Amino acid sequence: MDYEKLKLLPNVPAKVILIEAADELLTERTNAIPEEQRKGTHYTPEEMERRLQEYKDRNDESQGYQPVVAFFQKRGIEVLTLKAEQPEPKLQRQVQDFLEKVGQLRDLR
């Protein structure tokens, strides 16, 4: 496959930012959202647990899955990996530095 041509397709990003976080941190942040704001969302403890497990299952190489980050790396797409545990201003600065280096990212939703 011609990965250079793949990068030019409208729904394939040229650059990716991956923010890694421990399950505990994600659960803690989710639980910090006031219950009234979580109502009707996927941010309940049960739903977060289910979604975290689904993410792990779908990124489990021993089960024949390719981790999502490997999908991009294998295709030569630059991935900036950051740790969510660091202070937010530092995280924002790293993202800003990356964007200044590579240009704006496209949202593919």
Could you state, in order of their start, the residue ranges of all structural domains in the chain? 3-102
Residue 78: what pLDDT? Answer: 86
Residue 105: what pLDDT? Answer: 64
DSSP lists the bridge partners of residue 16 as 79
DSSP assignment string, 4-69 = HHHHHSTTS-SEEEEEE--HHHHHHHHHHS-HHHHTTSS-SHHHHHHHHHHHHHHT-GGGTPPPHH
Q: What gap in Å lies between CA 45 and CA 106, rounded to an integer? A: 31
pLDDT (tens digit, 0 to 9) for every residue of the chain, 109 residues total?
455 555 556 677 778 889 999 999 999 999 999 999 988 898 888 999 999 999 999 888 888 888 888 888 888 888 999 999 999 899 999 999 988 887 776 665 5
